[in-house]
Structure 1
Amino acid sequence: MTKLGLEAKELEPTRTIFHGIVPGLSCSLIGRIQLDVLFGDSNHFRREPIWFEVVDLSSACHALMGRPALAKFMAVPHYAYLKMKLLGPKGLITVTGDYRKSLECARDGAKLA
């Protein structure tokens, strides 16, 4: 959170519990926060406020966007190609992932498990 310039006092309380993130354990959240998520560039972008659940644990991922966020953007992800497409004000926006980062994340996640 500190890398984003956020403080714990900005989090809203929540009683949500995650199951299955850490194998065999449940994980309580420390709060939730609504942040603007932006896809595209300065000339053609789409921005939506998304709720994020905040957890204090070691993970290879920094943020996960689930079905509600993808539905809000009306995004279509293609996991094999590491691409996501969504409509913007000037047409289609394509977000392209990085295969090296994806492999690093998967490797780091396996180490943590």
Structure 2
Amino acid sequence: MNSVAGEGSDDPWETNLVFTKADLRDVVPHDNDPVVISVITAGRKVHRVLVNQGSSADVMFWSTFNKLQLSPDLLRPYTGCLYGFVGDQVEVRGYLELRTTFTDGTTSRTKSIRYLVINSNSAYNILLGRPALNRLRAVASTRHMKMKLLDLSGRVIVIKSDQEEAWSW
């Protein structure tokens, strides 16, 4: 998908979020690199955030939770089950809502994101899935290695994927 059209909608958040050839200028040629960005949450910049359009949950890994020095008392019980890519059940420690800021350095938007905190190893610190992307009304393009969303005034925020972070394990 290269654009989201908002014609005929009276919703101020619906606008054309378009990816163009200009968005390809700073992209290193790649073979299916993931979109990996940084966000600010719990007052700290968190790198290695995977934009995962295939995930039905927004996930924070237990190691990240600990690095952010968050109190386990913040976790609320989660009674559902979460299954990994290969169908194995993943231990959910609980969930919490954290204000998370998305910025391109010139403009930003902060939204409360509900993260499931899981006890599992990952090359990433956070997985942003469909719930966050839909709440933000964000559109990601793996070809352009970017995610776009609107700030509160309607300006487009363009968050570039950090291709070096995506390559390093």
The two structures have a TM-score, normalised by structure 2, of 0.56
Aligned to 1:75: 138
Aligned to 1:3: 67
Higher-helix-fraction structure: 1
Distance 1:4 1:44 in 2: 24
Aligned to 2:79: 15
Give the counterpart letter for 1:94 in structure 2: V
Question: Stretches of 4+ moved more than 3 A in 1?
Answer: none
After TM superposition, list the pairs within 5 Å mapping 1:1-113 onto structure 2.
1-21=65-85, 23-40=86-103, 44-90=107-153, 91-104=155-168, 108=169
Query: Structure 2: which 5+ runs fail to align?
Result: 1-64
Give the counterpart letter for 1:10 in structure 2: L
* Alpha-carbon spacing, 1:34–1:67, altered in 2? closer, same or farther (3 Å): same
Query: Structure 1: which 5+ runs fail to align?
Result: 109-113
* Alpha-carbon spacing, 1:85–1:74, altered in 2? closer, same or farther (3 Å): same
Identity %, equivalent residues:
30
Residues 16 and 28 of structure 1 are in contact (CA less than 8 Å); yes or no, is this contact kept in structure 2? no
1:42 offset after TM fit, Å? 7.0
Q: What's the RMSD between the two structures over aligned residues? A: 1.7
SS at match of 1:31: strand
